[in-house]
Amino acid sequence: MSAGTASTASVSTHILDTSTGRPAADVAVSLAARTGTDEAWQTLGGSRTDADGRCKDLPALPEGTVQVRLEFATDAYFDNGAFFPEVTVTFTVVAGEHYHVPLLLNPFGYSVYRGS
C-alpha cells in the first residue's frame, strides 16, 4: 500500500514467527476502522500474509479514520495449537501518516510495535 495522503492514513503489516525465525505465511488479517472513539467499527476487508509474511493488499482507510484495528487469525497458523487463537491490535492514526505494524508471534506469546 502506498503512503497516506493528506486526508487519510495508511496501514501495512507483516508477521514474523519468532519460534522459527521465519515469516508467518498464509495468516488471515482483517482490517477495521472508525472515525471517532465513540463510533462503531467499520470492517473494511482483509488479506492473507504472503510467503514473506506480508499483507500487501490491505484495503485503504476511509477519510476521517482516527482508530484502526488489525485482527490476526493465528490459531489456524499453529494448527489450532496457539495459546492466543487470535491477536487484535488497535491503534490511533493521524491523517497523512503511514503505519507499519509488525507482529512478532510464537505459539505462547506475541509482541507488536510501530515499525517504519
For residue 92, tell me if it sits in a domain: yes
110 HSE (CA, 13 A, CB side): 24
Residue with cell 506469546: 109
Answer yes or no: is 40 within a domain.
yes
Residue 111: CB atoms within 10 A of its CB come to 12
> What's the CATH number where 59 sits?
2.60.40.180
CA dihedral 93, 33, 113, 81 (to 10 degrees): 180
Write out the three cell numbers for 43: 470492517
Give pTM, 2 decimals. Answer: 0.91
> How far is Cα 90 from Cα 115, in angstroms, rounded to an integer?
15
* Tens place of pLDDT per residue across the chain (116 aa): 444 456 789 999 999 999 999 999 999 999 999 999 999 999 999 999 999 999 989 999 999 999 999 999 999 999 988 999 999 999 999 999 999 999 999 999 999 999 98
Within a domain: 31: yes
